Amino acid sequence: MSYQGYKELLVEQQGKLLVAKFNNPKKKNCINRFAYQEMTRVLTEVNDDEGVTILVFTGVGDIFTAGNDLSQSSKSDDIDAFFKQSNATFKAMVLSFVNCRKIVLALVNGPAIGIGATIVGLCDVAWCSETAYFYTPFTKLGLVPEGGSSYMLPLILGRSKASEVLLLNEPLSAQEAYQFNFVSRIFKASELESLIWPKLRQYSELPTNSLLQGKRLIKEGFVENLIKANEAECKQLLQQFQHPEFFQAIMDFASRKNKAKL
d(CA 34, CA 217): 32
pLDDT of residue 73: 63
Q: What is the mean pLDDT of residues 51-70?
A: 96
pLDDT of residue 257: 64
Q: What is the mean pLDDT of residues 81-93?
A: 95
Say if residue 211's pLDDT is above 90.
yes
71: part of which helix (H) or strand (E)? none
Q: Which domains does the chain have, with CATH numbers?
A: 9-189+208-260 (3.90.226.10)
pLDDT tens digits for 220-249?
Answer: 999 999 999 999 999 999 999 999 999 888
The overall pTM is greater than 0.75: yes
d(CA 139, CA 142): 5
Cβ neighbours of residue 2 closer than 8 Å, sequence gap 6 or more: none
- 3-class DSSP state for residue 45? helix
* Closest among 18, 66, 16, 58 to 42, alpha carbons compared: 18
Give the model's confidence band at 194: pLDDT under 50 very low, under 70 low, under 90 confident, else very high.
very high
In the sheet that 133-135 helps form, which strands lie side by side, from edge to edge? 112-113, 133-135, 172-173
Q: What is the mean pLDDT of residues 125-132?
A: 98
Give the model's confidence band at 95: pLDDT under 50 very low, under 70 low, under 90 confident, else very high.
very high
pLDDT of residue 23: 97
d(CA 147, CA 114): 9
Percentage of the chain lying above the pLDDT 90 cut = 88
pLDDT of residue 213: 98
Task: Tell me how long the chain is.
Answer: 262
Type of residue at 251: M
Q: What angle do CA 31, 32, 36 make, to 5 degrees?
A: 80
pLDDT tens digits for 10-44?
Answer: 999 999 999 999 999 999 999 999 999 999 999 99
Please, which residues bridge with residue 133 across strands? 173
d(CA 261, CA 259): 5
Average pLDDT, the chain: 94
Give the model's confidence band at 184: pLDDT under 50 very low, under 70 low, under 90 confident, else very high.
very high
Half-sphere exposure in the Cβ direction for 105 (13 Å, CA): 22
